[in-house]
Amino acid sequence: MQRHPAFHQAVPIFCLFLVGVLGVAFGATPSSRTRRSRTPSYADPAKNDAVAYDDPVIRQIAVEALGHSNGSVLAMDPSTGRILTIVNQKMAFSAGFEPCSTIKPVIALAGLQEGVITRDKMIKVARRRYMDLTEAMAHSNNAYFEEVGTELGFERVAKYAALVGIGSRAGYNIPEEQPGTIPTRPPIYGGVARMSSFGEGIRITPLQLASLVSLLANGGTQYYLQYPRSTTDVQSFQPKIRRQLDIAPLLPDLREGMLAAVMYGTAKQSYDPDGEQALGKTGTCNDETMGGRIGWFVSYADQAHPKIVLVVLIRGGGRSTNGPHASEIAGRIYRGLRERNYFAESSYRRQYTASAGASK
Please state, in angstroms and rounded to a whole number, the distance separating the CA atoms of residues 345 and 350.
9
- Helical pair 323-339 and 56-66, crossing angle rounded to 10 deg: 140
Q: What is the pLDDT along the chain (360 residues), one digit of tens a residue?
A: 444 444 444 444 444 344 343 333 333 333 333 344 467 888 899 999 999 999 999 999 999 999 999 999 999 999 999 999 999 999 999 999 999 999 999 999 999 999 999 999 999 999 999 999 999 999 999 999 999 999 999 999 999 999 999 999 999 999 999 999 999 999 999 999 999 999 999 999 999 999 999 999 999 999 999 999 999 999 999 999 999 999 999 999 999 999 999 999 999 999 999 988 999 999 999 977 667 899 999 999 999 999 999 999 999 988 889 999 999 999 999 999 999 999 885 455 445 545 544 433
- The residue extents of the domains of the chain are 54-355
- Report the DSSP pairing between strands 129-131 and 123-126: antiparallel
Which numeric CATH code is attached to 54-355?
Answer: 3.40.710.10
SS3 category, 206: helix
Q: Where are the alpha helices (DSSP H) in the chain?
A: 5-25, 30-37, 56-66, 89-92, 104-113, 133-138, 142-152, 154-163, 191-198, 206-218, 231-235, 251-263, 323-339, 345-355
Q: How many CA atoms lie within 13 A of 172 on its CB side?
A: 17
| pLDDT tens profile 13-29 | 444 344 343 333 333 33
Please state, in angstroms and rounded to a whole number, the distance separating the CA atoms of residues 71 and 91.
7
Q: Which residues contact 35 (CB under 8 A, 6 or more apart)?
A: 288, 290, 291, 292
Total-model pTM = 0.86
Please state, in angstroms and rounded to a whole number, the distance separating the CA atoms of residues 220 and 152.
21
List beta partners, residue 142.
none
In this structure, which amino acid lies at residue 281? K
| pLDDT tens profile 74-125 | 999 999 999 999 999 999 999 999 999 999 999 999 999 999 999 999 999 9
